[in-house]
Amino acid sequence: MFFLNSLEAWTKQEFEDFFRSVWVVKNNLSTPQGRVLSQSALSHVHATLFFDQPSTRTKMSFMHACEFLGMHTYYFDGGASSSSAKGESIQDTYRTLGAYSDVIIVRSSDKNLVLDMRQDFKAWGYNKRIIQAGGGSEFHPTQALLDLYTLWEKSFLEKSSKIEEKTFALIGDLKFGRAIKSLLRGLQVVGAKKVYLVAKKGSELPAENKIEALNSGLDLVETSSFEDVIEKADVFYIPRMQSEYESVSSDARQGQPKIKTPDFVVSPESLSQMKPDAYVMSPLPRLQELPEEIDTDQRAIYWEQEKNGLWVRIALLHHMCKDLILKNKIEEFGA
Ligand code: NCD
């Protein structure tokens, strides 16, 4: 696999195999000896992160993941200090990154950018690995992988029900939340059954995403009431309101979108109505939809998701670059 944009191309077995490899990576790299060994796996490989949108955990976990594998790692935001400020086209910009890098990890406001890159690199004769790290309001496959891995690990370690046996509630900004859309694609592949879509008018999941999910056999139930699902769902997934996709309001501070008030809040009172073994998840960053008071409840697992993001991205990079690993290093690494 040299390219990752969306998860519908994966099979259920590939998810299972991948989650097992994340588990191995997590265990191996939790020891100093494992960390030293992993450093030599891909130390001749060059990776570039090309991010034109803000990021904290995706950027940092990918940077650390590359470093864990010993890769030479560069960060490029295509901004004022680059030739795009002189008017260079985006195509010439990414071709230039492709000239120097073996792996390109991309976050962009343009949901089609990585698809365009793949096409262009093919025509240009570049055989590069490209990873989608957030594309417009549509794609965020590595977030979905870490979300699903966190649930897989829970069912594996704590013997809770399997992902496909759980009922999901996707809550809030379903219109622009790319993590939601990628998670929904992952749920289709693992064979989840029931998914509640909880959104107020104007924030509903777009029709094309709904049709895609329905065609895959998911049972989608739409509601605008959190109360309707609070005692029924096993997993509550609630991203922040994606204010940056709305037009900038007149009272916004310069260059920053006005932060929208969340349509739903997971308060301590709402937690008290949820099942005792439910999970509350978020891709983070969290704003007012997840008040700090709930952080210490064992059902709030978003900080675990964040930590797993590192192991998932190491396993993914390792998997995508397997053929580049020097032969005698594969056994040492163990995954
Ligand atoms: C998400 C994103 O960028 O889409 N964050 C992340 O990658 N962890 C969600 C968000 O920004 O709300």
Domain of residue 283, CATH code: 3.40.50.1370
Q: Where are the beta strands (DSSP E) in the chain?
A: 3-4, 46-51, 72-76, 103-108, 129-135, 168-171, 194-198, 219-223, 235-237, 279-281
Question: What does the block give as tokens for 320?
Answer: 């995508």
Tell whether 199 and 213 lie within a shared domain.
Answer: yes
Q: Do 213 and 125 reside in the same domain of the chain? A: no
Per-residue pLDDT reduced to its tens digit, 189-212: 999 989 999 999 999 999 999 999
Instruction: With residue 228 as reference, give the H or E element that holds it.
Output: helix 226-229
- Whether residues 189 and 238 share a domain: the answer is yes
Residue nearest to atom 9 of ligand 1 (CA): 283
Q: Of the residues 178, 281, 312, which should be mutated to test ligand 1's pocket, given the most ligand atoms within 8 Å of the CB? A: 178
Same domain, 157 and 299: yes
Residues 155, 260, single domain; the answer is yes
**Do residues 217 and 256 both lie within one domain?**
yes
Q: Give the mutation target among 53, 62, 109, 140 for probing the ligand 1 site: most ligand atoms within 8 A of CB.
A: 140
Q: How far is the CA of 53 from the centre of ligand 1 (A)?
A: 10
Q: Please indicate, yes or no, whether residues 149 and 292 belong to a single structural domain of this protein.
A: yes
148 with 292, same domain: the answer is yes
Regarding whether 198 and 92 lie in a shared domain, the answer is: no
Q: Which atom of ligand 1 is nearest to the CA of 140?
A: 4
Nearest to 192 by CA among 226, 223, 234: 234
Question: Do residues 171 and 198 touch, judged by C-beta distance below 8 A?
Answer: yes
> How do residues 243-287 score in pLDDT, each as one tens digit?
888 764 444 445 566 788 999 999 999 999 999 999 999 999 999
**pLDDT value of position 252:** 46
Kindly state whether residues 153 and 240 are assigned to the same domain. yes
Residue 107 CA: nearest ligand 1 atom is 3
Using the mean position of ligand 1's atoms as its centre, give its distance from the Cα of residue 57 in Å.
Answer: 8
Domain that residue 234 falls in: 141-305
User: For the chain, how many structural domains are there in total?
Assistant: 2
The pTM assigned to this predicted structure is: 0.95
Long-range CB contacts (within 8 A, 24+) of 84-89:
none
- Region 25-53: mean pLDDT is 93
Pair (215, 321) in one structural domain: no
The pLDDT, as a whole number, for residue 131 is 98
Question: Which residues approach ligand 1 with their CB closer than 6 A?
Answer: 57-58, 134, 140, 143, 178-179, 239-240, 283-284
Residues 161 and 174 in one domain: yes
User: Percent of the chain, pLDDT > 70?
Assistant: 94
